[in-house]
Amino acid sequence: MPSLQITIPSFPVNIQNYLISLELTDEAGIKSDSVTLKLSDHEGSLPIPAKGTKLAVAIQNIHMGDFIIDEVSLSGPPNQMTIQAKGANLRDQIRSPKSRSWHQKKLVDIVTTVANDNGLKPKIAEVFTPIVIDHIDQTEESDINFLSRIALDHGAIVKPMMEHLVFVERGKTKTATGKQLSVIRISKINKWNLKAPDRQYYKSVMAKYHSAEGGKTEHIKVGKGEPIYTIKMVYPTKEAAQASAKAKLNGLNDTEATLSITLVGNPELIAERPVIIQGVRAGVDGQWVVKQAKHSLSASGYTTSVSLIK
């Protein structure tokens, strides 16, 4: 088993000494990260951690995340304890339903307001600066779902990361400190599976905007050829329409295929990290983005199973 550190404040025993297995899942977007620990309780004396207790995991000296314990179960024989915890990033406040309307607001201002409302610091990619949203309603919808909806329309991902709220282009994620995630090259794969979904692939996007000079609605197209996806919203400026159309085209076509791979454990494989697959075959080789990374550790070794999208 590789170097592993599991920290539960005030826990009176070294939890690694009782570990049977660990499974940690790192998710893209608003899905909650999770970790499951299976412990040997052969003497029936392991203390039971309280629900809500914080838990941190590091693999090979790489911090994998902070979690909150939400379920503990006991079983036997043999006596075992299973601890399940969810990512600590999704606070209750950001998941609570809320109703409000936004009119003629810059996308960055909406994200910043939501971040501030939830005690988070916004980290927003500059590419979204010119985008203005004409009107959008948030009706009995959580802040995180609301922002996820906006992100989907603009080829972005949104995710709370530690004390930050990150809103960036899909596949170009940075760490919470603003550092671009570097590309990992993968050539040694234990198992792989490729699925090409049966869905519409758009070659261009049409957006509408209000022309102040002509006093009428104009159209602008990004990309070439058909089929064409048309955005229903009317933007206040040509620049905002063009930026939204470009982001939408990227978002529509970023999941033309999904690839699942299993390989020797690598803690650097985390959600939204770009990877390059080499030496497999045409259609598989090339650049992908991690959608989900599952790290599994036990006495039999350490493996990482990764779900990738284009």
> Region 244-272: what's the mean pLDDT?
83
Span 134-149, average pLDDT: 87
Output the pLDDT for position 92: 66
- For residues 38, 41, 46, 49, the Cα torsion angle rounded to the nearest 10 degrees is 20
Average pLDDT over residues 248-275: 84
The pLDDT value recorded for residue 249 is 81
Give the pLDDT score at 255. Answer: 54
Express each pLDDT in 58-96 by its tens digit. 999 999 988 989 999 999 999 999 999 988 666 667 778
Say which range, 101-115, 158-172, 183-197, 262-276, has the weakest mean pLDDT.
158-172
Residue 202 · residue 229 · CB < 8 Å: yes
| Summary mean pLDDT of the chain | 86
Tell me the C-alpha distance between 138 and 99, whole Å: 5
- Supply φ then ψ for residue 151, to 5 degrees: -60, -40
Going by pLDDT thresholds of 50, 70 and 90, the confidence category of residue 113 is very high
Cα separation, 155 vs 278, whole angstroms? 26
Q: Residue 200: which pLDDT band, with cuts at 50, 70 and 90? A: low
Cβ(35)–Cβ(25) below 8 Å: yes
Facing residues of 39 across strands? 19, 81
pLDDT at 198: 56
Q: 154 near 252, Cβ under 8 Å?
A: no
- Residues 160-181: pLDDT tens digits? 876 788 888 876 655 544 566 7
User: pTM (2 decimals)?
Assistant: 0.73
Please provide the DSSP assignment of 119-164 as one string: T-EEEE-GGGTT-EEEEEEEEEEEHHHHHHHHHHHTTEEEEEETTE
Of 96-105, 259-268, 286-295, which gets the smallest average pLDDT?
Answer: 96-105
| pLDDT for 88 | 66
pLDDT of residue 77: 92
pLDDT at site 182: 84
Share of the chain above pLDDT 90, in %: 40
Domains of the chain: 4-87 (2.30.300.10), 93-169 (3.55.50.30), 184-197+256-309 (2.40.30.150), 204-252 (no CATH)
